[in-house]
Amino acid sequence: MKSNRLRWLGHWAALGVGLAGAFGTAAAAEAPYFPPRGEWAHRRPEDFGLDGGRLQEAIDFAVAHQNTHTRDLALDLQQTLKDREPGFRLLGPTKPRGGMTGLIISHGYVVAEWGAPDRVDMTFSATKTFVTTVVGVAWQKGLIRSLNDRVRDYLPTDELFAGEHNSRITWDHLLRQSSNWIGTLWSVPDSAGQPAGYAGQPLFAPGAVFDYNDVRVNLLALAALNVFRRPLPQILREEVMDPIGASNRWRWYGYDNSWVVLDGERMQSVSGGGHYGGGMWIDAWDMARFAYLFLRHGQWAGRRVISEKWIELARTPGPANPGYGFANWYLNTGRKPVIGFGGVNCFLPSAPASSVVFHGNGANIFYIDWEHDLVVIVRWIQDPALDGFIGRVLRASKPAEPTP
């Protein structure tokens, strides 16, 4: 087993960067670094003004607060959801997870790694960010004319968007998890997995109320599949993952019953999470590349991969929730909790208000911080410990207080 102690690989830069007093000063004069496929350059934390001892304290804190549930995720899901969802069953594949793992990327360079960053694991609801990113590709290609268009107009029948309520749902509503779509998809009703009181809530108009809902994200994935007429993993690979040098080891799964026929070919509609199995399976290195793409505003080594306008839209809160952009963009607006009918997540008072988190159960965390030029990946940390961990990482950039 690999040690959880911080591994300083200490690769010195040819330009001879000196020590700096805070994030941002050491690398300010350098052009952004983009890791080639299959490698990622390392630097000492001190090259960017980071206190190595404090950074180790942050990692030790994360390790001490790793997820204590069983690593058998099929069993974990059954135990967690059997009482909340009568008749719960897995519809897609699962796999046992690994242990506490993480990467800290400062100014594009790896300054710390621990655990098993090359292990492919499920990412649960962080998959939603891959769904919305693929929708963004369709939008920037002009396949979706406007996010305010009704989704029903892009499908061959009104079956999924029939009636006065569902017919009014737009792409923007689905992207922001405020569609309030009513129905059943892949044998799962929209009410599945919802908190107590959901069944008795009034029928809110599309766009009026934020509701964290797995079924409706799966609906978004199916709608995007109909737009592209090709499997979404193929689109993601060609348009995003290959251009950023990701490995060929990630996989994106749907359910046993989420197959459709388009243009005479049988295709699987992928899921937006692992609630019922499936979703994105990926290692920490590829997670870091995906996050780093957004840290660099959608560009990779001079190539425009994701529209900067799309990222701006994804980072803009919708009217139904000031702490949530597109799924799964958790905003730190006002450093207040994300609140909706689906619960509260990602409260980071220690982080800048401009920072963003992609969050998956477990927890699987992509932390993006433009203010500090920082990407942090941490896997299988307890949710309540996330702010303590990120706060300790950020404190590693501050001068140590003098000893009395």
Token pair 């009217």: residue: 319
Tens of pLDDT, residues 1-27: 344 445 544 433 333 333 334 444 444
Model confidence at 103: pLDDT above 80: yes
Tens of pLDDT, residues 223-251: 999 999 999 999 999 999 999 999 999 99
Instruction: Read off the tokens for 304.
Output: 């425009």
Q: Is the dihedral of CA 75, 80, 86, 91 positive or negative?
A: negative
333 contact partners, CB below 8 Å, separation of at least 6: 317, 322, 323, 353
Say what the pLDDT of residue 30 is.
74
Instruction: Read off the tokens for 232.
Output: 């979404």
Residue 14, burial from CB neighbour count under 10 angstroms (0-12, 13-18, 19+) = exposed
SS3 of residue 351 by DSSP:
coil
> What gap in Å lies between CA 123 and CA 135, rounded to an integer?
19
Closest listed residue to residue 136, CA positions, set 128, 144, 148: 144
Confidence at 344, pLDDT banded by 50, 70, 90: low
175 contact partners, CB below 8 Å, separation of at least 6: 132, 135, 147, 220, 326, 327
Residue 77, CA atoms < 13 Å, CB-side half-sphere: 24
Instruction: Read off the tokens for 266.
Output: 């049988």
> What gap in Å lies between CA 364 and CA 130, rounded to an integer?
14
8-state DSSP, 204:
P
369 contact partners, CB below 8 Å, separation of at least 6: 295, 351, 352, 354, 355, 375, 376, 394
Instruction: Answer yes or no: pTM beyond 0.75.
Output: yes
Tens of pLDDT, residues 41-64: 999 999 999 999 999 999 999 999
Yes or no: say if 104 and 110 are a contact pair by the CB < 8 Å rule.
yes
Please, what is the average pLDDT of the chain? 90
Can you tell me the mean pLDDT for 55-82?
A: 96
Fold for the domain defined by 129-270 = Beta-lactamase (3.40.710)
Can you tell me the mean pLDDT for 96-115?
A: 98
> What gap in Å lies between CA 181 and CA 178, rounded to an integer?
8
Can you tell me the mean pLDDT for 106-113?
A: 98
What is the CA angle 297-298-299, rounded to 5?
Answer: 100
Q: How far is CA 296 from CA 42, 128, 226, 282, 302, in A?
A: 18, 20, 30, 21, 10
Q: How far is CA 228 from CA 154, 236, 243, in A?
A: 11, 11, 19
Closest listed residue to residue 310, CA positions, set 135, 118, 100, 79: 135
Q: Which value, in Å, is the radius of gyration of the alpha carbons in the chain? A: 21
Q: Is the dihedral of CA 168, 169, 171, 175 positive or negative?
A: positive
Start-end of H helices in 21-72: 52-64
Tens of pLDDT, residues 159-200: 999 999 999 999 999 999 999 999 999 999 999 888 777 776
Closest listed residue to residue 319, CA positions, set 177, 161, 168: 177
> Is pLDDT larger for residue 89 or for residue 347?
89
Residue type, 348: L
Tens of pLDDT, residues 353-394: 999 999 999 999 999 999 999 999 999 999 999 999 999 999
